[in-house]
Amino acid sequence: MAKQQVESNVCKSCDSEEVSTMQLWQYFFFVSTLPVIVTVTIAVLVEPIFFFLLFIILLINYRVAKKKTPFTMCRSCKQVTQGGA
Ligand SMILES: [Zn+2]
């Protein structure tokens, strides 16, 4: 049985160990929260048709998230590296 690998990444730019790996669902949640709030607000207040737009936004965000994740971000210098741990 392969044991769970502990994240031991270091930043390629500043050698900091303060890096975090962004997974698909985290990135998806991150990029979706604001658009969802805005779109739902508009849909409720102005026009219910915007609920359809919500599905399109979520679909696009999912595809973007799938393409971009996983990636590693340094908390010290904000360096972003493609590819996960
Ligand atoms: Zn760094």
Ligand 1 centre from 17 Cα, in Å? 8
% the chain with pLDDT above 90: 76
Q: How far is the CA of 69 from the centre of ligand 1 (A)?
A: 18
CA pseudo-torsion sign 21, 23, 29, 32:
positive
Q: Residue range 74-84: average pLDDT?
A: 88
Q: 14: which residues sit within 8 A by CB, 6+ positions away?
A: 74, 76, 77, 79
Tell me how far the alpha carbon of residue 73 lies from the centroid of ligand 1, in angstroms. Answer: 8
What's the pTM value of the predicted model, to 2 decimals? Answer: 0.74
Q: How far is the CA of 12 from the centre of ligand 1 (A)?
A: 7
Ligand 1 center to 66 CA (angstroms): 24
